[in-house]
Structure 1
Amino acid sequence: MKPPTAAAEDYLKTIYAHTEWQAEPITPKALATRLGIAPSSVTEMVKKLAADGLISHVPYGPLTLTPAGRLQATAVVRRHRLIETWLVRELGYTWDEVHDEAEVLEHAISDRLLEAIDTHLGHPTADPHGDLIPAADGSTTPVPAVVLAEAAPGHSGTVLRVSDRDPAILRALADAGIVPGSLLHVVDAATVRLPAGGLHPLAPDAAGAIWLTS
Structure 2
Amino acid sequence: MSTPPVLTAVAEDYLKVVWSAQEWSQQQVTTTMLARRLGVAPSTVSETVRRLADAGLLEHAPYGAVGLTAEGRRHAVAVVRRHRLIETFLVQVLGYGWDEVHDEAEVLEHAVSARFVEALAEHLGHPRRDPHGDPIPDADGTEHLPVAVTADVAAPGEGQVVRISDADPALLRYLEGVGVVLDARVRVLDRPAAAGVVGLAVLGPDGPGREVDLGPAAAAAIWLAAPGEGSPPEPLP
Q: TM-score, normalised by structure 2?
A: 0.87
Counterpart position of 1:155 = 157
CA-atom RMSD, angstroms?
1.2
**Greater CA deviation, 196-205 or 70-79?**
196-205
Report the counterpart of residue 172 of structure 1 in structure 2: 174
**Structure 1 partner of 2:216:** 204
Of 11, 24, 27 in structure 1, the residue corresponding to residue 27 of structure 2 is 24
Query: Equivalent of 2:96, from 93, 97, 114?
Result: 93
Give, in angstroms, the shift of residue 87 of structure 1: 0.1
Q: Which has the higher helix share?
A: 1
TM-score normalised by length of structure 1: 0.96
Matched residues, percent identical? 52
Q: What is the aligned partner in structure 2 of residue 143 from structure 1?
A: 146
- The residue aligned with 2:16 is 13
Instruction: Pick from 173, 179, 194 the counterpart of residue 202 of structure 2.
Output: 194
- Alpha-carbon distance in structure 2 between the residues aligned to 1:180 and 1:37: 32
Amino acid in the other structure paired with 2:49: V
* Equivalent residue, structure 2, for 1:79: 82
Q: Which runs of 4+ in 1 moved over 3 A?
A: none
Deviation at 1:124, TM superposition (A): 0.3
Count of matched residue positions in the alignment of Structure 1 and Structure 2: 213
Cα deviation for residue 2 of structure 1 reads: 5.0
**In the alignment, is the contact (CA less than 8 A) between 2:160 and 2:185 conserved in 1?**
yes
Greater shift after overlay, 14-23 or 193-202? 193-202
Q: SS state of the match for residue 93, structure 2? A: helix
Q: Distance in 2 between matches of 1:36 and 1:15?
A: 14
SS of corresponding position for 1:128: coil
Q: In terms of Rg, which structure is larger?
A: 2
CA contact (8 A) 2:151 2:198 kept: no
